Structure 1
Amino acid sequence: MNALARFLRERWALAVGPLVLLGLWEALSRIGAIPMTFFPPPTRIIANAGIILDLETGLGGDILATIGRLVGTVALAVLIGVGLGIAITASQWTERGVGTLLSFVYPIPGVLFFPFLTFVLGRSETAVLLTALVTPLIVMILYTVAGVHSINRTLIEVADNYDCRGARRFFRVFLPGALPSIVTGIRISLGFGLIAVIAIEMVGAPSGLGNFLWENWQTLRVTDMYVALLCIAVLGLLTTVGFDALADRLLPWRADARKTS
C-alpha cells in the first residue's frame, strides 16, 4: 500500500495535462462550441468503454493483438539492434557504410515498406512485424553505436591487455558500457514501435487497435473510434511510465541521476 501511495505521489503530475484537455473537450462539446456528432463528450466515450472487455466483438482482442505486436517488434529490435550496433563498431569502414545506409533509410516512414514486403510474404503477420520493425531497429542500432563510443577507452585498453575478446568482450565490456544508451534507445523504440504498429494495422492488418480505429472511422461509429484512440493513448502512456519504472528498478543509478539533474 505504501509503495502504491509513493508511486501515485511521484507520478500524479503525469495525469494533469490529459485531465485538463479532457475537461476542456467536455465543456466545449456540451455547450456546442464543437460539433457533438464528431466530438462526443469524453464522459460519453468513457461510458462506452465497456467494449474494451469484449474479446470477441469489442476491443479486447484488438488490444491484445496490438500489445503482442508491440512486444514482438521491440524485442526483435533490441536483440538484433544491440548485436549489430556493437558488431559494426569493430571496423571504422563498416560503421561508416552502415551509418550511411541507416541515414538513407531512417527518414522513410516504416509503413511504406509494407507493400514491398507483401510482394514476398503476402498480407501476413510476418509482413506486419517486419514492417513495424524497421524504425525501432534503426533507433536501437544508432543508440547502441553511440553507447559503445561513450565507453571510456581505458576500459577497452584494459580488455585488450587481458586478451578479453569475443563473447567475453561483448558481455563484459561493450554491453555494460553501452547500457545507459541502450536503455534510452529501448524507451524511444517503444514509442516508435507503437506508432508503427498502429499505422500498419490501419492499412494492412486484420486486427488490432489501428484496424478497429480505421473501420469505425469508415462507418462513422465515432464513439467507438474515440474509445480505440483513448486506448492507444493510455497504452502509450503506460508503456513509457512502465518502462521507466522497470528501468529505474533494474538500474538504480538511472533514477538517482534523474533526481540530481
Structure 2
Amino acid sequence: MSTIPLSEGAPVPARRAAPALQWPGRALGLLRAVALRLLPPLLILALLLTVWELLCARPGAALPAPSRVLQDTWELIIHPFADNGGNDKGLGWQLLASLQRVALGYALAAVAGIALGVLVGQSTWAQRGLDPLFQVLRTVPPLAWLPISLAGFQQGHPSAIFVIFITAVWPIVINTSVGIRNIPQDYRNVARVIRLNGVEYFWKIMLPAAAPYIFSGLRIGVGLSWLAIVAAEMLIGGVGIGFFIWDAWNSSRISDIILALVYVGLVGFVLDRLVAWIGRLVTRGTAAG
C-alpha cells in the first residue's frame, strides 16, 4: 500500500475523540463537580451530628440526641399531611399555612416596595421627605408591630400578613431606590434621544437597569418574611409552623421543636435560592447582573 508523505513543516490534523469516549469523561467531570460541592457540607453535617450525639446521649442530658429525635418524631416525618382535626395537623399542613401567609404578605411588600423605591429613587423631593421616615420605621422589630396590627384588624390572620408586609417592605424600598439612582447617565441620555415616554422608560430602561438591586432587596425581604411569620404565629395561634413550635414547647416535646426547626431552615433556604434563581434569570444580560 502506498502512502503520501507529508511535506516538511505541514500541520498534522488533530484527531477528534470518538463521541463514545467523550461521554464517560463528561460524566466523570460532572460527578467530580457534584462531589466537590456536596462533600464538604455533608462532612461538616456528619461531624456536627456525631458531636451532638456524643454530648446528648448520656443520661441526664438537657436536649435529646439526634437518634432520640428521629425516634420521637418518626410519625411526624412519615405522615407530614396527617389531619386529626382542629390545630392537630402534620408538619406539611403547618408549613403550607405559614407559606400562604408569607406569599400574600411578601407579594404585597414586593409591589409596594418596588413602587415606593422607584418614587424615592426618581424624585429628589420624595427622597428627602420619605427616606428619613423609612430609616426610622425599618428599625422597629417585627413583633413590635403585632399589637398594633391586632388592634387594627381584630384578627390573627390579617395581622400576621401585615407583620410580614411591614418587615419585608423596607429592604425592597431601599435597594430599589439605590438601583434607580445608580442608573447610568448614558441610559437616560439614550431614552431622551429616542424620546421614550414614561411607561416605555420604566419598562425598557429603569427596571432592567435596576433589576440586580431590586432582586437583592427581594432576596433579603423573603428571608425576613419567613423569620417574621414564625415569630408572629407563636403569638397569634392557629395553624402554622410558629404555633406548632410554641405548642410543642408548652407540651415539653423538645424533639418536635428540633424537627420543626430543621424544616424551617430548609424552607427558608429554598425560598432564598428560589428568589436568587429568578433574579439571575431576570438580570441576565444587564450590566450589573
The TM-score normalised by the length of structure 1 is 0.85
Sequence identity percentage:
25
TM-aligned CA deviation for residue 245 of structure 1: 3.7
Match of 2:174 among 137, 142, 149: 142
Are 1:43 and 2:67 counterparts? yes
Give the drift of 1:9: 4.4
Match of 1:164 among 180, 196, 204: 196
Q: Residues of 2 paired with 1:80 and 1:19: CA distance? A: 43
Q: Distance in 2 between matches of 1:162 and 1:133?
A: 38
CA shift for structure 1 position 97: 1.5
What root-mean-square deviation, in Å, do the aligned CA atoms of Structure 1 and Structure 2 show?
A: 2.6
CA contact (8 A) 2:208 2:283 kept: no
Larger radius of gyration: 2
2:122–2:181: 8 Å Cα contact kept in structure 1? no
How many angstroms apart in 2 are the aligned matches of 1:172 and 1:253?
Answer: 13
Partners of 2:125 and 2:202 in 1: how far apart? Answer: 20
3-state DSSP of counterpart to 2:155: coil
Unaligned runs of 5+ residues in structure 2 are 1-26, 84-88
Quote the Cα distance in structure 2 between the aligned partners of 1:93 and 1:154: 23
Return closer, same or farther for 1:75/1:46 CA change in 2, 3 Å cut-off.
Answer: farther
Task: Please name the residue that 2:143 is paired with.
Answer: 111
Where is the helix percentage greater, Structure 1 or Structure 2?
1
Structure 1 residue 208: Cα displacement: 0.9
Among 121, 138, 145, the residue aligned to 1:89: 121
Contact in 2 for aligned 1:45/1:223 (Cα 8 Å): yes
Contact 2:211 2:282 in 1 (8 A): no
| Other-structure match for 1:179 | 211
> 5+ unaligned residues in a row in structure 1: which ranges?
none
Supply the distance in 1 between the matched residues of 2:271 and 2:246 (Cα, whole angstroms): 22
Q: Normalization by structure 2: what TM-score?
A: 0.78
Q: Distance in 2 between matches of 1:17 and 1:149?
A: 42
Residue pairs, 1:4-153, within 5 angstroms: 8-9=34-35, 11-12=37-38, 13-31=40-58, 35-36=60-61, 38-47=62-71, 48-52=73-77, 53-56=80-83, 57-153=89-185
1:167-193 Cα shifts (integer Å, max 9, x gaps): 212111111110011111111111111
SS of equivalent to 1:89: helix
Q: Which residue of 1 aligns with 2:232?
A: 200
Tell me if structure 1 keeps the 8 A contact 2:120–2:131. no
